[in-house]
Structure 1
């Protein structure tokens, strides 16, 4: 395993206040195995079986990208099942034969289901066209997303609306949108995850409105080609300081924030953010290298993703929705359905801006979460790295140089 030491003053995205002096940079294989161990914990399966599931998940991305293009006019949703199989839901009654993806030692079933009433394109169009009307029909603005497993528009209503005639409400919403509707409730409105007041060694900055100091979590290292910096959530304070383990302070320079519609991202520049590295584990003893970036288009319901937050630590969970608009007015007004929702319970205040990843693949920045009355996390949602601000890009490690190839010795020629 490759090991090297990281200087204490260097900023590592994902946990700016971590003990970087003795941290170990782990290999891509070790990073994926670490995520598999958490999947094994939450699912109660063997770590080796969990690792196979994650390998299947990564191996099936290219095939599901092809399926989405091939069946675009009928596609209601794509999801990854708990056994690693790909489930494809189509409209209409014309059946499609099941198939398999074979790659290396992996065989991944592809199961087609038919009978959906609306395509994903139609569901998205209905959400975008009628979001304001749906909000006006309810007592509090709801979270809305696409249920890719059932091919419906999922509307998460509050307790007050759930206490009325839910069947009648569903009928009115179906008539309004012209697509299938499923109603659910989470018990509490969605919240951004920046609001915990602390005074410790984290990414800290003052709120100019009240003078109090808040903390967030850094996501990944980025560059615009001339300078480097870190990204976090736009609803975090503008002025942010990195506090090292020895209590030394490294100020960062606020570049800008983008926090409306489909954005919740802020860039703070610093020459000390020089490598594509981030912490993943709760103890902050293992550093991962960013080796790739995954787009939202290549993310499926049922995919496993992991995240690290300064408050909740490290956890992995399933993607619930890929087309999700959080409740309330958390995006400078209504949010667009471009956010990705991930099952709880791994989220708490202070996690905002933290990295979402799998192995060494960077995926997104955590924005907010939805909570039950007891304070437990129902789900969190993140911004895809597709939406980094214009001119800025993720810093990614260069591909490893290929190993030298020694030509095989010539085979002996058999006598005639």
Structure 2
């Protein structure tokens, strides 16, 4: 793709603010806010879907060789909780998009799209006719053929209404579809991705994306913003820091940082037939500094990191050990009834100060991430982990990534963590 990042500050990096969807900094705050039970239901469905997909591939290969990225789209579930506002088109029109490292294709809802085909959103639908830089991707192009390799059909519609068509099959049954297109994407003052490839959506069947204008894809495949935004230097490198509360703001940074001395790194793994997932290999878990007795074989299929999933799900054996140790460390506080599938909840009524033990996750290469009360141990008084119901694959959700800058370096085949970043 001949896509260049123009006018990027600091030579090779640009930062976009991130906000929690329901926080005061979010442009979609208070618009269709989900009840807690519905959020947990969606989150559980997304996790189970991703783990089912991952369970189809039982072989991990270390990325010691060049990564071969197939021309297909990954799938994800629609319970993402963090948003970024970018500009699309010329002149740039604000679009508030859900951050998703679990999928690669960015898409927005576009005109024409009537109320029976598009879900309600806060901002007006993007109108490609008002953008001087908009262009549909030709059916006979390599870009269209590459996109079509992972979806139904040949990439071109038979009715002639669209040119190169896309259709994403989300696990919830949502099937956003439309025309594969290019336009200018503005990430910040002077930072413009020319000829950014994205989906201009005209039909979002059964889609519920909580008033956002679309999805910002940051997966591992070529359609990802991570590859498109930095074609000249730092390609395939980005990081994000998810804010801990609704009143704080995090960031999405594209390109390679100049100084990585504050990061701890672990190898990025690849599944043979599910290469769009960001997968890491845990080696140990500690609670309050005490190493849990978890056989190494439990982690043999690794864990997937996903910004669009809220809670973290561990392999059954690992979660059982974590739950036992965490309850023991929190023994002075009475247990509360389970909330949805969260079975380790506490009643803090009458307690002015609550001491929460640190949960430490150690990954291959010795990279250790310490999670405390602010960075993802508890959510609404419950341990923000649950059992995936699978003895092979786990998942690290957004709650366990809060305040931590997570750096994805695809060419370098590694993932880094910097604590206290936002």
TM range (shorter): under 0.3
TM-score, scaled to structure 1: 0.24
Higher radius of gyration, 1 or 2: 1
TM-score, scaled to structure 2: 0.24
Q: Between the two structures, name the one with larger relative contact order (CA 8 Å, sep ≥ 6).
A: 2
Q: Which has the higher helix share?
A: 1
